[in-house]
């Protein structure tokens, strides 16, 4: 995010830059901290409103996968974000990871 951007404006801009889609956030689905790097990621479920998928400098391909398939495609620290977004938690999970694995 840019220093002067609010969270939702930054989210919308990043998604459009990386995917070509214009989205509306519908729920915060998790908060994740990379402990070694000190980076906090807020993950949102979004509804696509306009645009079409396209590759960018930060994305090279797109495809639909199940929650089980994502566990085979990504490290645990990233797969859990998709799995949490698909789950129906009462509150957004807050998790820590080391860049590869969930801690604690």
Structural domain containing residue 40: 7-103
Q: Which helix (H) or strand (E) holds 72?
A: helix 67-73
- Residue with the bigger pLDDT between 63 and 79: it is 79
Do residues 1 and 66 lie in contact, with contact meaning Cβ atoms separated by under 8 Å? Answer: no
Tens digit of pLDDT for each residue in 39-67? 999 999 999 999 999 999 988 888 889 98
Q: How many CB atoms lie within 10 A of CB 67?
A: 13
Of 32, 2, 49, 43, which Cα lies nearest the Cα of 99?
32
Do residues 39 and 77 lie in contact, with contact meaning Cβ atoms separated by under 8 Å? Answer: no
What backbone phi and psi angles, to 5 degrees, belong to 54? -150, 155
Q: How many CB atoms lie within 10 A of CB 91?
A: 7
Within a domain: residue 2?
no
Tens digit of pLDDT for each residue in 2-18? 999 999 999 999 999 99
Q: Any idea which residue has 């990386």 for tokens?
A: 18
Give the domain CATH number at 75.
3.90.79
Number of domains in the chain: 1
Predicted TM-score of the model (pTM): 0.88
């Amino acid at each position: 995010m840019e220093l002067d951007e609010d969270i939702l404006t930054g989210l919308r801009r990043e998604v459009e830059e990386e995917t070509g889609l214009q989205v509306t956030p519908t729920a915060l689905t998790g908060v994740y901290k990379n402990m070694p790097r000190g980076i906090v990621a807020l993950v949102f479920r979004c509804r696509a409103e306009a645009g079409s998928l396209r590759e960018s400098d930060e994305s090279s391909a797109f495809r639909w996968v199940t929650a089980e398939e994502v566990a085979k495609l990504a490290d645990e620290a990233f797969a859990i974000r998709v799995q949490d977004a698909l789950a129906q938690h009462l509150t957004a999970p807050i998790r820590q990871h080391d860049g590869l694995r969930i801690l604690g």
